Structure formats: C-alpha cells, structure tokens
Amino acid sequence: MFEGFETVDVDTGDARIFVRHAGDGRRPVMLLHGHPRTSATWHRVAPRLLALGHTVICPDLRGYGRSTGPAPTPDHAAHSKRAVAEDMLAVARHLGHDTFDLVGHDRGSYVALRMALDVPERVRRLVLMDCLPLSEHLDRADAEFATAWWHWFFFAQPEIPERVIAADPVAWYRPKSDPAIMGAENHHELMQAVHRPSVVRAMLEDYRAGLTLDRRHEEADRAAGRRVQAPTLILWSLRDDLERLYGDPLRIWRSWADDVVGNGIDSGHHIAEEAPEELTCALHRFLAR
C-alpha cells in the first residue's frame, strides 16, 4: 500500500499522530478516515490523487490506528472534534502547509467540519462524505434513526462497550470489514488496531464526545451565525442509509454552508474502498476548480 509515500509521527503536544504523506507541496489535500478505519482506508484513492498532482496527507485520527492520545476525560474534551482538529492543524504545519483542501469521511467528516468552522482561513476547499452535522442527526433522531444507528447510543454507555468489544474484537468488527473488499493489507492494519484496548477506548470516546461536547459546539456555531465559508462538496453512499433517512442531504447542508454541491455515489458506506475511481474523479474535479 501507499507506494511512494513516506510516514512520520507528529507530536502535537498531548497526542502523537501517525501520518502517511507524499507530493511536492503543491495542492495539498488532507484525507480523514472514519470509524473504525485507519488512514489505510485511502490506499486506493491517495495514490490516484498523487498521480493527478495533489500533495496527499493521510493521518490516523487521535487514538485510532497508530496514533496515540491522552487519557479520556470525564467531559470527553480530550477526544472532542475540536481537540482532534487541532492535531490535524499541527500535522499540516509540520508538513509546511498553511492552507489545504480537506476531505473527511464518517467520523473524519466531523473533524473536518469543526476545522472549517473554527479556522476557515486554513481550509481552501471542503469535502464531507456520508454525514450531516452531529446536531442535525440528533435533532432528527427518532425510532428509525435509533434502530439504524443504535451503535451511537451503545458506544456512549460507560465501560460496557469496552468489555463487549474486547471479548472478541474480530467478531465485533469483521461483519463490516471484509478483506476481499478492503484489501488484505488495509484489513490487517485494522485488525491490529482493534486488538489494542487503547484504540477501542479512544474510538468510543470519539462517539461519547459526539453526543455531548461536539453537539454543544455545533449548537454554539448556529447560535453565533457561523457558517462554512469554503466551497463544499457533499458526497454520500447510495447503498447506505443517509438519503433514505433524510432525503436530499444537500437541503440540510445548505443551512450550514454558503457554497454547496454534491451527489450520491453507487457504493456502500466505505466509498474509498468500494468505489475509489469514481471517488477520485469527484475529488479531483472539485479540488482542481
């Protein structure tokens, strides 16, 4: 995987972030993965973007994969999207990029949204995949949402999910982690990660922060009238449930961002693994504008 890429560990103060990167410094784009993946989820997309002339940065989020972070805090602030966004800004600074394009999928999309709202001067273009703002999900939560996305609320419980997942990480994560679809090396990296209790705990803290502190941060943005300033591309999986639950996601995103375009992609949830060519084309077309 990632032929031609280098790796580096970036010390951000209270975290150490593992990063894959390559390129000559022009047109930098940072790719942020979702749960429970690592930066390896981009292994079919990142080399394609590199070949198209982009400088590509693929970090493991705080606590995920080979990145480490601080111990959880009672208010979950140590794993808030704001804290993780600060890590990603430190990674960009370390690699010499003051501004960059930003792509987030799933949990990574919430980190990307937080960066775009907190430091709009740093984000040139924004791509968000398979997501709405956390507060929008929660404001619309009903029995259908809770049934489909039950794991959000299970992960929020103290201690119980850690014990359940640690009992058999392979059984927990394997149903949605097929090596034939993911690629063998990507799958191996994921399985190594989820066998580490510290990684599982950090991933759960990500969800706990999402239902509490991250939601409040978004509500504060709305109350203050803050909106995404960067041109924004919204992509979603046609074989996942975002459109079924909410209709056209662009309708909701237009209340958060001034310049929004987007479309669905014929794929399951992990678009970078299942539809890499179509995703690369969509990213390059948007980022090269």
**Burial class of residue 77 in the structure, from the number of CB atoms within 10 Å of its CB (0-12 exposed, 13-18 middle, 19+ buried):** middle
pLDDT of residue 102: 98
Indicate the residue type of 260: V
Structural domains present in the chain: 6-287 (3.40.50.1820)
Q: What is the mean pLDDT of residues 195-202?
A: 97
CA torsion sign for 146, 252, 134, 260 is positive
pLDDT of residue 174 exceeding 90: no
pLDDT of residue 175: 74
Kindly indicate the confidence band of residue 5, based on its pLDDT and cuts at 50, 70 and 90: very high
pLDDT of residue 154: 97
Do 287 and 54 meet the contact criterion of CB atoms below 8 Å apart? Answer: yes
Indicate the residue type of 84: V
pLDDT of residue 260: 98
Q: pLDDT tens digit string along 74-90?
A: 999 999 999 999 999 99
Q: pLDDT tens digit string along 105-128?
A: 999 999 999 999 999 999 999 999
Q: Annotated active-site positions, please?
A: 106, 269
pLDDT of residue 46: 98
DSSP string of 87-117, one letter each residue: HHHHHHHHTT-SSEEEEEETHHHHHHHHHHH
Q: What is the mean pLDDT of residues 57-76?
A: 97
Cα(238)–Cα(177) distance, integer angstroms: 19
CA 185 to chain centre: 20
Which residue, 38, 56, 45, is CA-closest to 95?
A: 56
Q: What is the mean pLDDT of residues 177-193?
A: 95
pLDDT of residue 169: 94
Q: pLDDT tens digit string along 126-155?
A: 999 999 999 999 999 999 999 999 999 999
Region at 27 (left for phi over 0; alpha for psi -120 to 50; beta for the rest): left
Cα(107)–Cα(61) distance, integer angstroms: 9
Average pLDDT, the chain: 97
Kindly indicate the confidence band of residue 177, based on its pLDDT and cuts at 50, 70 and 90: confident
pLDDT of residue 176 exceeding 90: no
